[in-house]
Amino acid sequence: MKSDIVLAGVGGQGILTIATILGAAALKENLYLKQAEVHGMSQRGGDVQSNLRLSSDPIHSDLIALGGADMIVSLEPMEALRYLPFLSKEGWVITNTVPFVNIDNYPEMEKVNAELAACPRVIAFDMDTLAKEVATARSSNLVLLGAASPLIDIEPDKIEDAIRALFLPKGEKIVDANIAAFRAGRAKAEEIIKN
DSSP state of 190: H
pLDDT in tens, 131-159: 999 999 999 999 999 999 999 999 999 99
Q: What distance in Å separates the CA atoms of residue 99 and residue 70, rounded to the nearest whole number? A: 23
Q: What is the DSSP string of 58-70?
A: ----SSPPTT-EE
Q: What distance in Å separates the CA atoms of residue 108 and residue 188, rounded to the nearest whole number? A: 26
Of residues 85, 5, 89, the one with CA closest to residue 49: 5
pLDDT in tens, 30-47: 999 999 876 555 455 677
Share above pLDDT 90 across residues of the chain, in percent, rounded to a whole number: 78
Of residues 64, 93, 67, the one with CA closest to residue 81: 93
